[in-house]
Amino acid sequence: MPIFYGFKSYVSFPVILADGSFYGTLCAIDPMPRLVSGAATIAIIEDCVRDVSALLSARLLPHLMAAGATTDAPRPQAG
């Protein structure tokens, strides 16, 4: 799909919450060609994914556990 809109660079990394459940993906797109497979670029994106995961886990998991939800409960997804 990124090519359809003219994007030349695209990365997508899974966001895994602290309980091990999959939340969604963190994606980056760019209309310019970029080297996104370099070790430094991957490390930076993985750091961002860890930060996003920690923030989401701190915000969502206490509420889900208080409500008695299981880790398989549907979670809000980015639109």
Model confidence at 67: pLDDT above 50: yes
pLDDT tens profile 29-41: 899 998 888 999 9
What letter does residue 52 receive in the DSSP assignment?
Answer: H
What is residue 47's three-state secondary structure? helix
Select from 78, 12, 19 the least CA-distant residue to 46.
12
The span from the CA of 11 to the CA of 50, in Å, is: 15
Model confidence at 79: pLDDT above 50: no
- Of the pLDDT bands very low, low, confident and very high (cuts 50, 70, 90), residue 69 is low
pTM: 0.71
**What Rg value do the Cα atoms of the chain yield, rounded?**
15
- Of the pLDDT bands very low, low, confident and very high (cuts 50, 70, 90), residue 71 is low
Q: Which amino acid is at 14?
A: P
